Amino acid sequence: MTFIELTVLGVSLIAAYIVYKLTKLANFFDNLGIPYVKPIWPFGSDVKGLLMREHTTSTVSKMYYELEPHKIGGYYLAVRPTIMIRDPELVHKVYATDFGHFVDRGIPSNPKRDPLEGHLFLLNGAKWRFMRAKLSPIFTSGKLKFMYAEMKKCVDTFIAHLEKTVPFGKDIDMKEDSVGFTVEVISSCAFGIEINSIGNPNSEFVVYANKVFNATTTTILKLITRMISPWLFDLLRLKQSPQEIEDFVMKVVKDSFHHRLTTGYSRNDIIQLLLQLKEKGSVEVEEHEKDEDDHQETMYQMSHSIEKEVVELDDGLLGAQVFVFLVAGFETTSSTIYHMTYLLSQNQDCQDKAREEVNRLLAKHGDFTYEMLRELTYLSHCMDETLRLFPPVPFMFRVCTKEYTFPDGTTIPKGTAINIPVYCLHHDPKYFPEPEKFKPERFEQPITRGAYSPFGDGPRICIGKRFALVEIKLAMARLLHTFRFLPGSTKKDKIIYHIRNTGWHHWRPCNYSHSLTRIASKKWASRLRRTFRTHRGPFDSFSDPTGSVPLCHFSTVRPVQERSIRTGRNNFGPKPIFH
Ligand code: HEM
């Protein structure tokens, strides 16, 4: 055979292989008998979302309604067939009952090349089990009580900052201030260091933390390459995390370890627990610290049953865990505080009721104690309702790790991607009548299992759930006690969701021109503005298929000092409120 003939044969074989693969992919759902949303090759069914022409949550929500009334339906995420689970009962199976078939999230990661990707959220299989079992004791309610003292100090500073910087009646950006607060909490509880991020958006930690979520053109291009072709991404030896973020996180972790080891300094924080893990191979849990709820008990058992160390607990791996606590911990909690103040400003009767509860229990306990927080039932419902309307993680991914047969007999092969459309289920009138209304009372009744999961569920449920709930509740109780939230005074003050925010939250409200100037020079801002249009969150008419529910109106939140409460700090009885 001549060289030319060999080349032609080689090219033909590769072309035939590609055609075979594409045909197989194109017929994926037809072969399984699953209804699906038609794709545009190779961009998939959610082409607008992939190309950042629309908020991803909007695209997923549209597909959710397109697939009505099927319990499961398909779509293509770029070229990857993905199954959307639309039925709460099936969602619960995927999360919990049949977890053994859906252990991983299926998000590509390569900790060898990118050490920051070796964290819990991205780890798979045995490595995830090992790490989760080792880390679970970090957030027992016993350990949380110790961290509570640190949280309280941060809330004191937060309130003092607002009192000082918010002139009476002036609109403020609650998102920015909440970020400063939650970054301070997590760095204080994780690293044991005060970083003075409250009221200081230029603090080093805040700047780096924000960089993780504010995607640049390069990071978006890398993400798209990785989604369409993970092998090409690896072949090109690309890295998702910017080097400067990796250097920053690793330096902070190494310095913290070094400081503790050389000075013998000890503190009840996450770094100390990770050091314990590194030195002794496990985190000590006192009998009284164990919790009955969630899946913690299973995790304790798992942590004892795991004898073989499947991963080496080196600084890189531990640094990655600190990184995920920082990243997963600050954005989710700050956006919940922000959205909650927004919703309470729109629903003054709920705000009054929540404040009345806070003041009543404060009078009973004399201080904002850990025990007091547990009794704040109505405030908890307000928090649940906020997380229903604005889940920081609007959809969850899983991958089928073992062939699985649904109750209707449909069998999906190993490797199939799964999407749990949390946001859509939270807004589906079948499970939450009048879904766009803020009604905390709905949580007084049992909720359909599987229809509500802002923290996920099953063994992979958010590990920081308890930490987050305590932090948000404490902050909100203190804020309600001191301030009244009112809608922003100008119509221009709308929450704008930035299409370019990547990561798993997709929910970051930010001032568009602000973030544009951060990612590009002013000269380029208007050009970019034309290219990447702003989007006002996924609140289109699709979230209410009947079209009868009024759409949300956005405005920023204006906390106004309640002078009467301010003048009598130790007099906790209900007080008249002056606007
Ligand atoms: C309002 C606050 C928060 C929300 C709504 C939230 C939500 C979530 C969700 C939905 C998941 C995925 C669960 C699943 O796939 O089933 C998750 C995972 C995770 N979260 Fe959170 N989270 C919050 C706060 C936190 C905090 C404060 C931390 C750490 C201090 C944290 C650390 C993590 C980690 C490490 C994972 C991965 C767990 C694993 O795969 O084993 N989160 N979170």
Return the pLDDT at 576. Answer: 24
Asked whether the beta carbons of 151 and 470 are under 8 A apart, the reply is: yes
Confirm or reject: Cβ of 123 under 6 Å from ligand 1. Answer: no
Q: How far is the CA of 328 from the centre of ligand 1 (A)?
A: 6
**Mutate which of 455, 461, 506 for ligand 1 pocket (most atoms within 8 A of beta carbon):** 455
Confirm or reject: Cβ of 464 under 6 Å from ligand 1. Answer: yes
Residue 336 alpha carbon, nearest atom of ligand 1:
1
- The answer to whether ipTM exceeds 0.85 is yes
Burial of 312 (0-12, 13-18, 19+ CB in 10 A): exposed
Confirm or reject: Cβ of 461 under 6 Å from ligand 1. Answer: yes
A 10 A CB-CB count for 247 gives 11
**What is the spatial distance between Cα 513 and Cα 494, in angstroms, rounded to a whole number?**
13
**What is the spatial distance between Cα 210 and Cα 221, in angstroms, rounded to a whole number?**
19
What is the H or E stretch that residue 10 is in? helix 3-26
Locate 552 and state its tokens: 């949300």
Q: How far is the CA of 578 from the centre of ligand 1 (A)?
A: 39
Q: Is the pTM of this model over 0.95?
A: no
Q: How far is the CA of 465 from the centre of ligand 1 (A)?
A: 6
Q: Which residues pair with 178 in a beta bridge?
A: none
Confirm or reject: Cβ of 496 under 6 Å from ligand 1. Answer: no
Return the pLDDT at 91. Answer: 98
Return the pLDDT at 214. Answer: 66
Return the pLDDT at 246. Answer: 87
Burial of 47 (0-12, 13-18, 19+ CB in 10 A): middle
What is the H or E stretch that residue 8 is in? helix 3-26
Question: What is the side-by-side strand order in the sheet with 72-77?
Answer: 72-77, 80-85, 417-420, 396-399
Q: How far is the CA of 180 from the centre of ligand 1 (A)?
A: 19
Amino acid at position 476, single letter = M
Residue 461 — φ and ψ, nearest 5°? -55, 155
* DSSP secondary structure letters along 200-233: -TTSHHHHHHHHHHB--HHHHHHHHHHHH-HHHH
**What is the spatial distance between Cα 317 and Cα 250, in angstroms, rounded to a whole number?**
10
User: Sign of the CA dihedral 197, 202, 203, 208?
Assistant: positive
Return the pLDDT at 196. Answer: 86
**Mutate which of 398, 462, 476 for ligand 1 pocket (most atoms within 8 A of beta carbon):** 462
**What is the spatial distance between Cα 458 and Cα 163, in angstroms, rounded to a whole number?**
41
Confirm or reject: Cβ of 270 under 6 Å from ligand 1. Answer: no
Q: How far is the CA of 454 from the centre of ligand 1 (A)?
A: 9
Architecture of domain 33-284+313-567: Orthogonal Bundle (1.10)
**What is the spatial distance between Cα 249 and Cα 243, in angstroms, rounded to a whole number?**
10
350 is in an annotated binding site: no
Return the pLDDT at 302. Answer: 52
Residue listed under structure tokens 């902070």: 252
A 10 A CB-CB count for 223 gives 16
Per-residue tens of pLDDT for the chain, all 579 residues: 788 888 888 888 887 877 777 787 889 999 999 999 999 887 788 777 666 667 777 788 889 999 999 999 999 988 889 999 999 999 999 999 999 999 999 988 888 888 888 999 999 998 899 889 888 888 887 788 888 998 999 999 999 888 887 665 566 777 788 889 999 999 888 777 788 888 888 888 888 877 777 666 777 778 777 877 778 888 888 888 788 888 888 888 888 888 888 888 887 778 888 888 887 766 665 544 555 454 544 554 554 454 455 567 788 888 898 889 888 888 899 989 988 988 888 898 999 999 999 999 999 999 999 999 999 999 999 999 999 998 988 889 999 999 999 999 999 999 999 999 999 999 999 999 999 899 999 999 999 999 999 999 999 999 999 999 999 999 999 999 988 887 766 554 445 555 554 332 333 333 322 222 222 333 433 443 333 333 333 332 223 232 222 222 223 333 433 322 222 222 222 222 222
User: Sign of the CA dihedral 104, 106, 407, 458?
Assistant: positive
Closest C-alpha among 333, 335, 346, 347 to residue 488: 346
266-318 tens-digit pLDDT: 877 788 888 888 877 666 655 445 554 545 445 545 544 544 555 677 888 88
Residue 453 alpha carbon, nearest atom of ligand 1:
10
CA dihedral 418, 423, 425, 429 (to 10 degrees): -160
Whole-angstrom CA distances from 541 to 149, 432, 554 are: 44, 16, 15
Residues in the chain: 579
Confirm or reject: Cβ of 425 under 6 Å from ligand 1. Answer: no
Q: How far is the CA of 394 from the centre of ligand 1 (A)?
A: 12
Closest C-alpha among 328, 462, 406 to residue 84: 406
Residue nearest to atom 11 of ligand 1 (CA): 462
Residue nearest to atom 40 of ligand 1 (CA): 121
Residue listed under structure tokens 């299926």: 106
Q: How far is the CA of 104 from the centre of ligand 1 (A)?
A: 14
Confirm or reject: Cβ of 183 under 6 Å from ligand 1. Answer: no
**What is the spatial distance between Cα 178 and Cα 332, in angstroms, rounded to a whole number?**
10
Return the pLDDT at 290. Answer: 52
Confirm or reject: Cβ of 132 under 6 Å from ligand 1. Answer: yes
Burial of 82 (0-12, 13-18, 19+ CB in 10 A): buried
Residue listed under structure tokens 């949580």: 443
Closest C-alpha among 492, 443, 489 to residue 345: 489
Q: Domain residues of the chain, as ranges?
A: 33-284+313-567
Residue nearest to atom 31 of ligand 1 (CA): 464
Radius of gyration, alpha carbons of the chain: 25
Q: How far is the CA of 327 from the centre of ligand 1 (A)?
A: 10
Residue listed under structure tokens 């929540």: 354
* DSSP secondary structure letters along 54-117: S-HHHHHHHHHHHTTT-SEEEEEETTEEEEEE--HHHHHIIIIITGGG--B------TTT-GGG
